[in-house]
Amino acid sequence: MRAVSRCRLVVVLAITLLSGCAMVRPHERQNLARRSMTADRDPGEARFTQHKTGAREGADGGTGEPGGGCGCN
């Protein structure tokens, strides 16, 4: 019951926050389309960095990409 209430609270908060966002029109997105705002890291840099931290830290993930894949354990 408590978990359901908590879940409802999260959903209500999310809807409130999202509804408070201003609608950004396509012609207002020139700054959002800049490279620094979309992907300031190339796939190769991101992959190497995830590989490095995955091999040296006990935590991994949070990127939406699979980690591991090597014997650098």
Partner 1 sequence: MRGLGIGAALAVAVAAVATARADGELTVRGAYYKERATRVEQPMLDGRFDVGEAGSLDAHLLVDSISSASVVAFDEKRVEAGAGYAHVVGDYTVGGSARYSSEPDYKSAFGTLRAQAEAFDKNLTLGLTLGAGHDDVSNAGAGDMGRITGTLSSYLVAASVAQLLDENTVASLVYDLSYLDGYQQNPYRRVVVAGGLMPERHPTTRARHAAAAMLRRYLPRTSTTVVGAYRLYRDDWGILAHTPEARVIQDVGDTVTFGLSYRYHRQRAADFWRATYTAADAYVSDDPKLARLTTHDLAAKLVVTGATLGLEGRWEALRGEAMIEYYVQSAAFGNAIIAHAALTIPFEY
Tell me whether residue 8 or residue 41 sits nearer to partner 1 (CB atom).
41
Residues 6+ apart with CB under 8 A from 63: 46, 50
Nearer Cβ to partner 1, position 8 or 61? 61
As a whole number of angstroms, the distance between CA 55 and CA 58 comes to 8
Q: Which x/- pattern, by CB under 8 A, does the window 17-46 give for partner 1?
A: -x--xxxxxx-xx-xx-xxxx--x-xxxx-
Query: Considering beta carbons, is residue 9 or 72 the nearer one to partner 1?
Result: 72
Element containing residue 4 per DSSP (H, E): helix 2-19
Q: Does 64 bind partner 1 (CB under 8 A)?
A: yes
Question: Minimum CB separation from partner 1 for residue 16, in Å?
Answer: 13
Cα pseudo-dihedral 23, 24, 27, 33, rounded to 10? -160
